[in-house]
Amino acid sequence: MLSPCIDHSSLLHAQQELRTVRDLLRWSVSQFNRCELAFGHGSDNAWDEAAYLLLHTLHLPLDTLDPYLDAIVLESERAAYLALIARRCNERVPAAYLTGEAWLQGHRFRVTPDTIVPRSPIAELLAEQLQPWIADPDAIYSALDLCTGSGCLAILTALAFPQAQVDAVDLSDAALEVAQSNIDAFGLNDRMSLFKSDLLDQVPQTAYDLIICNPPYVNEQSMQNLPQEYRHEPQLALAGGDDGMDLVRRILEAAPNYLSPEGVLVLEIGNEYDNFVAAFPELEPIWLSTETAEDQILLLSREQLAP
């Protein structure tokens, strides 16, 4: 149990002294830095996270801060915001769990502690319709998102490939409930289906043109060293065994049976590049780069997986 970083007296003093949006932001950034928070669940620095939490609390547009910096905050608004800041600092709860939402490629997704916080760089590639590796996005008729969690990547896949029927798979009933709520919110029930399955084991036999997968891949040593914020996420969705490749091995073995002849697998492995190369020295994937990720996402054709 963490000892409180912000005690009751500090909160009471803040409630009495802080008046404007600018005041609250400055104080929050100071507390985030003093408490040495870890970021990475939607923002990578104290200022952006404090601004997001404040704009969310005040029901203001998340991309418009400057006009409101000198606005006076109501006592009730101030109390609600400071309560979020206290939980963020004292419990190390990721911001997305405090607000119940996460944003990916400009889209809002509902999240709960039953799902990891959406942040996969695969989202950036989907926004570009995986071009040039997929020459004709309209020729993708069936797609699968494996380990779907909140359903965010499955939904972005459906938006990127308008002709595709998209299946989404997870082992967690609670995660699938969250995914269904997001599918409902996007109005995609006619194009998307959810399956409870241990990876591909219970998925109906289908020849997918595209499989997307952000599986559990964190190696055991890294799991032991995770910042407290990441320990709020389902360990089932993070832990990948001694070398992080336990589930990846199963995926690569089964994937050829679920890909069409021209189908491709897009797989995220995070910071496990060295472990992947050691585990699969015979494979020569295409490594896909994004603004935030190098050697973290790979693409393999069915032919490479089952020559």
In SS3 terms, 264-290 reads as EEEEECCCCHHHHHHHCCCCCCEEECC
Q: Which string of DSSP letters, residue by residue, matches 230-251?
A: GGGS-GGGTB--TTS-HHHHHH
HSE, side-chain direction, 13 A CA sphere, residue 118: 29
C-alpha radius of gyration, the chain, whole number: 21
pLDDT at 306: 86
Which whole number is the average pLDDT over 135-150?
Answer: 97
Residue 1 has pLDDT above 60, yes or no: no
Residues 6+ apart with CB under 8 A from 132: none
Which whole number is the average pLDDT over 301-307?
Answer: 90
Q: Taking the model in full, what pTM does it have?
A: 0.94
Helical segments of the chain, H only: 8-17, 21-34, 46-57, 75-90, 95-99, 122-127, 152-160, 173-186, 220-224, 246-254, 273-279, 302-305
Q: What is the distance, to the nearest Å, from the Cα of residue 170 to the centroid of all Cα atoms in its chain?
A: 14
Q: Residue 57, by phi and psi: left (phi above 0), alpha (psi -120 to 50) or beta? A: alpha
pLDDT in tens, 143-180: 999 999 999 999 999 999 999 999 999 999 999 999 99
pLDDT in tens, 190-217: 999 999 999 999 999 999 999 999 999 9
pLDDT at 4: 87
pLDDT at 225: 96
- Which pair of tokens denotes residue 244? 């992080």
In the numeric block, the tokens 């590049």 are attached to: 273
* Rounded-to-integer distance, Cα 304 and Cα 264, Å: 9
Spatial CA neighbour of 238 closest among 177, 108, 147: 147
Burial grade of 158 (CB within 10 A; 0-12, 13-18, 19 or more) = buried
Could you give the angle at which helices 46-57 and 21-34 cross, rounded to 10 degrees? 140
pLDDT at 42: 87
Phi, psi of 142 (to 5 degrees): -145, 135
Phi, psi of 29 (to 5 degrees): -60, -40
Strand 107-110 with 101-104, pairing: antiparallel
- Which pair of tokens denotes residue 95? 């911001």
pLDDT in tens, 16-46: 999 999 999 999 999 999 999 999 998 999 9
